Each structure stands twice: as C-alpha cells, then as structure tokens.
Amino acid sequence: MRYTPHTERDVKEMLGVIGAALPEIFEACGIPERAGSARSIDGITGGILSEEGLSALETERELKRIAAKNKVYGAVFLGAGAYNHYIPPVVRHITANPRFVTAYTPYQPELSQGILQAIFEYQSGIVRLTGLDVSNASMYDGAASAAEAVLMCVADKPGDILISEGVNPEVRAVVAAYLGGTGRSVTLAPLTEDGLTDAAFIAARGNAACCLIQQPNYYGNIEDAKAFGALLNGNGVRYIMHSYPTALGILASPGECGADFATGEGQPLGLPLSFGGPYLGYIAAREKYVRKMTGRIVGETTDREGRTVYVLTLQAREQHIRREKASSSICSNEALCALAAAVYLCALGKNGFRAVAADCFDKAHYLAEKLERAGLRLKYKNAEFFNEFVTVSDSKKSSRILKLLDEADILGGLKLNEREILWCATEMNDKKQIDGLAELVERV
Amino acid sequence: MRLIFDKSVKDRACVTLPASEIPVYSVKNAGFLRIAAAELPEVSELDLVRHYDALSARAYGVDSGFYPLGSCTMKYNPKLHESMAGLCGFTDIHPLQDETTVQGALEVVYLLTEYLKEITGMDDGSLQPAAGAHGEFTSLLMTDAYFRSKGERRKKILVPDSAHGTNPASAAMAGFSVVNIPSRRDGLVDLNALRAETDGGVAALMLTNPNTLGLYEKNIAEIAEIIHANDSLLYYDGANLNAVMGKIRPGDMGFDIMHINLHKTFSAPHGGGGPGSGPVLCKSFLRDFLPYPLVGASEGGYGFLKPPKKSVGKVRSFYGNFLVALKAFAYIIALGRGGIRDAAEKAVLNANYMCALVSEFLEAPFGGARMNKTEVSECGGEGGCAGSFECAAESEKSKKFGGACMHEFVVSAEKLKVDTGVSALDIAKALIDYGMHPPTVYFPLTVHEALMFEPTETESKETIDAAAAALREIVGEAAKNPEKIKNAPFTAHVGRPDEVKAARKPVLAR
C-alpha cells in the first residue's frame, strides 16, 4: 500500500522547483544513499518485513486472521482493574467522528472549539462524579493518575508515602516506578483480616506526606473512606482516593469523603476492554492544588466579542512552557477516551449512572450467594463489597473451576491462588449467566 | 454553544437498562453511601447526537483539511485501521485472560516490536508507554537504573536548546538535572559546547534527529563518539522518525535507547490529543531494564516472559495502548519496507517543495532557498545555507545543496514583524480563513517569530501549492493592511480568546 498521492509528474515538477533530485536532497541533509548498515531496512538485505507490503484487502485478511486467534467469551466474570460494562452504541458513533478522531491537541482555539468544549464537559462530568473542584483533561490510565497524584503530593511535602495493600498491584507497581526519580519509597499499609485497610497503621503515621486508598479495594471490599478522610485530614496527610468510577454511582464521592485528590481508571466509562488499552486516567483535586495540577486543563473565557469560548489554560504548569520545571512531562493524553467517557456519562445520565452502579452491586451479591450455595466460601465475611469479592475453597481447585467455565464459554474470575478466586459481576451478567456459572462451579 | 449540562431535562433518559430479574440488595452501612447524586445531564439520544454533531462542526482534523503542524506529523490516518481496531476480537478481550486465549493480541505485540526493532536498528523494546513523553520518561528511568546497576551516580541529562519541552520535563521527572546545550547558528548541536558539558556526571544526551528545525544532525557520528567516550548514553527522541525511516536507522547512528510516537510516524490518529503510544526501544545491554511484561515467541505460540532482571517495573497498567499499536501494526505490514521508505522520501520531498515556495517571501534561516540558487555567497551570512556557520570547512558540494531541509522546516516572520507589526501568530491565525490549520508557532524557541511547517507525505502537490499561495497572500496583505491580519481569523466560530482572563480567574468546570 502507498498512502502518498504523488504521480511521477508531480515528483518531477516538485523536484524541478527544488532544483535537486531526491538522493541529492538526502545527501545535502547528511544522509548519503545506502547510509544504513547491512541490517537496515533500506533494502540492502532482507529483514522480516516484506519489501512490497500488502494491499488493503490482504491487510484486512491478515488482521482478521489474527483477531480470530483471540477468544471473545460469551460471559465475563473477570474484573481486577478492567471491567466489562455495557457501552451504548451512541458512544462509539460519536467518538468515531473523524473531526474528533483526526484532530491534534487543541492548541488553536479558533479551530478547536468543539474539542475544547467536549473536554470542558468531560472535566465537568468528572468534577460532578468525584465531588471535587477541578479535573484535568485526562491521564494515560488510572495507574498513571494515581502515580502523578502521589508525585504532586510529595513534591513539596516530606514524610512517608502510605499506600494501602488494597490498592490494585498494577497501580502499586506503576506508583513505585514513577517514584524512581524521587528517591522516595512507599510504605505499604497492610490489610486487616477483614480485607480492609488497617486504620490503626495509618493513624500511627500522622507525619506522612500522603495516603493512597482504593475504593472499593482490589478485593472488592468497601473501605470506610469517610473515616480515612477524617483521620487523614486531621493529621494533615494528603488523601488520594482511587475509585472505580462506576461505584461512585452509589458510594460516597471522594469529595464527600474528604479526599484531596480523586484518581481512577476511566475505562469503565464507555471504553471497551481492548486487551488493556487505550484506557483513561481521571484525576481531580481540591481547588488549592490547581496550579500544581498535572496535564492539560481546559478553561472557559471570552473572545473579543464577549462570546463564551474554551482554551487550554494554566499552561505555565506544562512542559512546552516550563520545560524542566513543569509539573509533569505529559503531552499527549487520552483525549478521545475522555470524549467517550463524557458521552457515556451523558448517555446514562444522572439516574442511569446510579442504576448501573446499583445493578452491579445487586448482580455481584446474587452471584456471591449462588457461589456460596455451590460450595465456595466468601473470604471476607465482615466486609461489605461492591461488585467484586473473593471466594475460598478447600476442595475445588481454582484452576479446575476456571477451566470448566472456559469450556462453557465463560471467562471466570481471577485466580489469586489454587484456593481463592476474585470474582466480578456487572450489569452485563444476567440471571441466566449467573445461575449457569453457579451450576458449573457446583459440579467441580 | 450551550453546554450539554444546560440541555438537561429532569427525568429524560437516553439508555434504558433491562428490568432486574434478581433480588435487590442494599449496602448495610449507610455511611458508605453517596449523599448527593452526581448531577449528570438527562438528555435523549437525539439531544446527545445533535450536541456532538454541532461540536464536531467546530472541530478540525486531518480529514477536514491541510494540517501542517510542525513536529506533530499530522499524516492521513487510513480508515482501514479504524475498522480493524473495531473488530470484537481486539476490543472485547480482557487484559487478564489466560495467554492461550489471546494469542492474536500477543502476536500483534510481539511482531510489532520486531518490526520496530528492524526499522530502528535496536535490539529490544516494550510497547507499554502510552505516549511519546511517557516513552521518554520510561527510557530515563531505565537510564537511571542502568547507571545505578553499575554503581555509578550520574544525575545530568544534556538537552539541546531546540529540543521538545517534553525532553527536559521527562528528565526532571525521572530525577535528573538538565543541562541545555546551545545550537550553532546553523541550527545543529554545538560540538564544542557538547564536549565542554560532557563530564562524569552526564547520564545521557537526548537528541531528536532530524532536529526540531527539520535539520539532520550530520555530525551524529562525532556526537555519538563524544557521548560514548564518556560512557554516557545517547537517547533518540523519535518524534521526527518520519523523515528518515527506511533510509537510516537510529540504532546505526549510534543511539542506545529511544522512543517512537506511533501516533505520529505510524499513522495512528491523534484523537484531539490522544491516545498515543510511545514504545521504548534499546540496545541489548539495556534490555534488562525494560518495563515488564515482555512478550516472547516459541513453537508453542506467544507468551509473557519473566520480568527482566533489573526492570524499572511498570509505567502503565497492562501492556500499553494496544489498539493504537494495532493501527501502527496494520500500517507497517501494509506499507512494507518499500512503503516505509517511500513515506519518508515523500515527506522530505513535500517539505522541501513547500519550503522552496514559502522561502520566496518568508525568511528560512536554516534552509529552503531553491537549491540551485543557493550559492557560496550565502555562506557566513544569515541566508539559506544549512552549513552557513561552518561553511569554510565544508565541501563545495554541501555549499551547493545547503538549502535542504528534511520533513519539516522553519521560517521566521521576524523581518515582517519589524516592517509591519504582523507576527507569526497573526499569520497562523490568518491561515484559518483559508480553511487550513495553522503551523506550529514560536517553536523551536531558538528562532524568533518561528513558523514551523510539516506538510507530511500524504498531502498532494495541489494542497501544498494552495497553502503556499495562501501564505503569499497573507504576507502581501500584511504589508498593505496589517490590521486586517492582526485581527484574523474572520471565518472561525469564535475570535481570538482572552487567554489571560482564562488563567487569571480559572473556570474549569460547570
């Protein structure tokens, strides 16, 4: 395939205007013909790439062949950081609009009001969802959001970096990597027997710089996020609440819990699972942190005629102005994913969003009851959970359960070990699926 | 235009969920519950569709018209890729599925990494970073880990003054201090300054080649020698890889580690600011520091490898922006080696052609005079010879062809501004009235009143002719009626925004 439109005549005319042949241009730049080594793809010796490439039809065939090697399950009960939710078709239709898809970052406000307003509406949606004051225009993913929130917290504050053991291990790993440049390390706050973050451990570290709590936590348990807010606010420890956004349909918002920062994975807001990406990190903060905030932010202003317009603002925080003094190096973000999230929030609306959260809660509790009847035990009896929970079994091996489900076209939960599985249910799982799954588990 | 929130009507709905067939459960601890519901808009599907249709009419993409935004490689994004990235075999797979059930996805990750290795001349890589700056940050974490593993403490990163802002910002984020290296008047790295700053504390030099002026750092072999003689690393910012892919490889130039912007060079769309994808590639001696997990191939199929011994860990959950990588994969297999080389050649052809046309009325400080007109007389002056500062030492040949740029070029409106008061920004805004996206302005910081054009290879001669004609008219108008250009654009939905007000009293949500 070639996506270059040049005819031979075009090339000749253009080179005539330039006054040199193509090899001469490259040579004048300092790249002589056959500059590459024998290993290079310049055609001297063969590599793994074909010289001629493929036609569009062949490319399509090849990708369909590859796609067919992936198994798409009829029912999904796996979460652990990526969630199978209903995506109203209108979300994909709107986000497929080429004027959104093929635009660059909206540096030219006169040509980009549509993108800027869409991001402003996304920010507004996140502010409303989290109950905090400001949101940026998006981060790479939830883990990167948490990591950048930690960096913001510790930039001007000494002390421990407390991270709950209930935070998803993927997120913890990313936070640890991001801290590599600061020389500061993490203090892991353990979980109690009930699968909840140990409040006494955190209370004993009143001089900490910040504390990261996940809601609901990795094991699905609902943390007493308000109590942590009271505790951390009282000690002057910056509170980062990392939430599954769907859960915020019914659970107390970070704002209500006293969080300084709200972060989380935005994938559940209208983005498909897509083998892990592209996803969307959301990050919101109290007003007082706005000038330290990471990433792009869209603000409202007026033009000369007094019309309301939107622009990228507070750019003095950013890399293209501040260079090494910027609050982060982030440039490209996840704008199109943020657009999907904004459309998703509108498509569900105030009542629909709450209803999805309630449905996830109900489905997971129904599933838990069914699995208990099928012979599994709930690991954390004294904690409440949202839509994920851990089961334990002495007789039914996790791998056997999951294999049997796989054969029935069901993607089971996450195997924590041979006795324990982390299950997830969402609005996508109907009664029939859940009953069917429980029957299979009973047979193991 | 009104916000979607202002179109909300109580109890209007777009999506209806199925009626529940199971019991209702409730949270026992009422303190866990949300008190105030999130005030999300209540609209119908048609309300929503019309709202976003109106917003899209106020947006502008590559599909809308010419988008010569320098440094951003706004090439056409083939529709085939979008269709393929929408296949349910790619969108509906969970990142934690057993690896035997995602062999196709792993094949894409594995093969794309192999192709990128071949194109760049590197030995290994990871697709995990989600954007270019993320790739820079990851590489610098690796650089730091590499020196620590050798028991060395090197905390300085050298960055040319013409570098992208992300370079110094990523370095600082990874815990380094930044030392700026001045450019010579010809726009290339000042080797003497480089030698002077290269000491035992230097971990790496970050370089874009061709650089942000669209000039190839022809002294790259010498630069590599200076850096390697000091046991420092040479880092390649892949933002401008489009100019040289298929022609010459960073790995062969002497670079040790690099990132690629799949959303620039390999035609994945920019999405209004993202998602991107910024794979990191490195020479074999840095392999052990790559983020995990990496994918390997064996006779039994594809699978995740054990984390490299000294891995910097993870910079993003799971495996990066998979669907973006998939689009790049489709692009590479469709183009093949020949197509990749052709893309670079046509990108350079288009830029030189446009530069030749535009430099007739706007000064091109680093090149762009028609090559057969660029004579020895240009040397030593401010003219168009790429080797002007060191011309005495250069061959006759390079004098003759001194006007060449690579995939992008910079012109300066400094003289026009002195003469008429019309600035680079004004010219950029006036282009909007011709239905085109403005170029990058005021970058690189080393050129006054800079306008930076990157036409890319997918644009036709006619489009470039039209853009050059529009610029000629604007510059002509600036001389006659400067106030008109200073107030442009006139055809956009809004006039120039009050950016000071936006920053002074921020309104960031409603």
Q: What mean pLDDT comes out for the span B100-117?
A: 97
- Arithmetic mean of pLDDT over chain B: 91
Residues of A in contact with B315 (CB under 8 A): 144, 174, 177-178
Residue B271: is its pLDDT beyond 60?
yes
Q: Do domains A75-85+350-443 and A89-344 have the same CATH topology?
A: no
Nearest residue, CB atoms, B59 vs list A114, A182, A298? A114
Kindly give, in sequence order, each residue whose CB lies less than 8 Å from that of residue B58, ignoring residues fewer than 6 positions away: A112, A113, A114, A117, B1, B493
Q: What token pair was written down for A28?
A: 């004048």
Residue B385: is its pLDDT beyond 50?
no
Backbone angles phi, psi at A414, to 5 degrees: -90, 125
Q: A51-73 pLDDT, tens per residue?
A: 999 999 999 999 999 999 999 99
CA distances from residue A72 to A77, A409, B88, B91 in whole angstroms, order as listed:
13, 8, 7, 9
- Residue B390 has a pLDDT of 33
- Residue B121 has a pLDDT of 94
Nearest residue, CB atoms, A305 vs list B42, B246, B495? B495
Residues facing residue B180 across a β-bridge: B159
The CA distance from A209 to A23, in Å, is 59
- Residue B382 has a pLDDT of 34
Q: What is the DSSP annotation of B264-325?
A: TTT----TTT------EEE-GGGGGGS-S--EEEETTEEEEPPPPTT----SSSTTS-HHHH
- DSSP character for B207? E
B8, B51, B55: best to mutate for the A interface, most A CBs within 10 A: B55
The second-level CATH assignment, the architecture, of B344-486 is: Alpha-Beta Complex (3.90)
Q: What percent of chain A has pLDDT over 70?
A: 97
Q: What percent of chain B has pLDDT over 70?
A: 93
Cβ distance B218 to A334 less than 8 Å, yes or no, reads: no
Torsion of CA B349, B354, B360, B364, to 10 degrees: -80
Q: What token pair was written down for B8?
A: 């909300």
Q: What token pair was written down for B177?
A: 């201090």
The DSSP H or E segment spanning A347 is helix A335-373
Q: What is the DSSP annotation of A150-183?
A: HHHHHHT--S-EEEETTS-HHHHHHHHHHGGGTT
Query: Could you report how far apart the first and last alpha carbons of chain A are, in Å?
Result: 52
- Residue B309 has a pLDDT of 85
* Residue A381 DSSP SS3: coil
Cβ distance B401 to A276 less than 8 Å, yes or no, reads: no
Q: Is B286 on the interface with A (CB under 8 A)?
A: no
Q: What mean pLDDT comes out for the span B222-232?
A: 97
Q: Is B151 on the interface with A (CB under 8 A)?
A: no
Q: Is the CATH number 2.60.40.10 carried by domain A89-344?
A: no
Residues of B in contact with A112 (CB under 8 A): 58-60, 272
The second-level CATH assignment, the architecture, of B82-334 is: 3-Layer(aba) Sandwich (3.40)
Residues of A in contact with B35 (CB under 8 A): 252, 256
Nearest residue, CB atoms, A301 vs list B75, B341, B499? B499
Nearest residue, CB atoms, B104 vs list A69, A304, A320? A69
- The CA-CA-CA angle for residues B167, B170, B176, to 5°, reads 100
- For residue A70, count CB atoms less than 10 angstroms from its CB and return exposed for 0-12, middle for 13-18, buried for 19 or more: buried
Searching chain B, which residue's CA lies closest to the CA of residue A102?
B61
Searching chain A, which residue's CA lies closest to the CA of residue B347?
A4
Domain coordinates in residue numbering, chain A: 75-85+350-443, 89-344
Q: What token pair was written down for A250?
A: 């019914």
Domain coordinates in residue numbering, chain B: 4-57, 82-334, 344-486
The CA distance from A167 to A172, in Å, is 7
- Residue B391 has a pLDDT of 34
Name the more confident of B57 and B380.
B57
Cβ distance A168 to B317 less than 8 Å, yes or no, reads: yes
Dihedral of alpha carbons B344, B346, B349, B352, sign? negative
Which residue spans within A266-348 are E strands per DSSP?
Answer: 281-285, 298-302, 308-312
User: Model's pTM, two decimal places?
Assistant: 0.95
- In angstroms, what separates the C-alpha of A443 from chain B's closest C-alpha? 22
Searching chain A, which residue's CA lies closest to the CA of residue B400?
A28
A60, A110, A136, A424: best to mutate for the B interface, most B CBs within 10 A: A110
Give the strand pairing for A75-76 and A410-411.
Answer: parallel
pLDDT < 50 stretches in chain A: 37-40, 43-44
Q: Is B24 on the interface with A (CB under 8 A)?
A: yes
- DSSP character for A303? B
Contact A170, A265 (CB under 8 A): no
- In angstroms, what separates the C-alpha of B71 from chain A's closest C-alpha? 11
Q: Is B65 on the interface with A (CB under 8 A)?
A: no
Give the strand pairing for B280-282 and B257-260.
Answer: antiparallel
- Residue B445 has a pLDDT of 82
In one-letter notation, the amino acid at residue B331 is: Y
Q: B409-459 pLDDT, tens per residue?
A: 999 999 999 999 999 999 999 999 999 999 999 988 888 999 999 999 999
- How many beta carbons lie within 10 A of that of residue B252, not counting itself? 18
Torsion of CA B479, B485, B487, B493, to 10 degrees: 170
- In angstroms, what separates the C-alpha of B229 from chain A's closest C-alpha? 22
Q: Is B44 on the interface with A (CB under 8 A)?
A: no
- Residue A73 has a pLDDT of 98
Among the listed residues A369, A10, A177, A108, the one whose alpha carbon sits nearest the alpha carbon of residue B461 = A10
Number of A to B CB contacts under 8 A, please give it.
Answer: 726
Residue B38: is its pLDDT beyond 60?
yes
Residue with the two structure tokens 């730049």: A29
Alpha helices in B373-498 (DSSP H): 396-400, 414-420, 424-432, 461-480, 482-486
Cβ distance B173 to A328 less than 8 Å, yes or no, reads: yes
- The CA-CA-CA angle for residues B329, B335, B337, to 5°, reads 100
- Residue A319 has a pLDDT of 82
Cβ distance A19 to B370 less than 8 Å, yes or no, reads: yes
- Of the pLDDT bands very low, low, confident and very high (cuts 50, 70, 90), residue B185 is confident
Q: Is B426 on the interface with A (CB under 8 A)?
A: no
The CA distance from B341 to B347, in Å, is 10
Nearest residue, CB atoms, B133 vs list A329, A353, A362? A329
Cβ distance A69 to B107 less than 8 Å, yes or no, reads: yes
Residue B280: is its pLDDT beyond 50?
yes
Q: What token pair was written down for B383?
A: 């003219």
Cβ distance B15 to A64 less than 8 Å, yes or no, reads: no
* ipTM of the complex in this document: 0.96
CA distances from residue A283 to A12, A296, B414 in whole angstroms, order as listed:
52, 11, 41
Residue B400: is its pLDDT beyond 60?
no
Cβ distance A14 to B461 less than 8 Å, yes or no, reads: yes
- In angstroms, what separates the C-alpha of A207 from chain B's closest C-alpha? 24
Nearest residue, CB atoms, B60 vs list A68, A99, A359? A99
Q: Can you name the CATH fold of A75-85+350-443?
A: Aspartate Aminotransferase, domain 1 (3.90.1150)
Chain-centre distance for alpha carbon A254: 18
Residues facing residue A303 across a β-bridge: B497
Alpha helices in A21-87 (DSSP H): 22-29, 56-67
Nearest residue, CB atoms, A180 vs list B8, B115, B141? B141
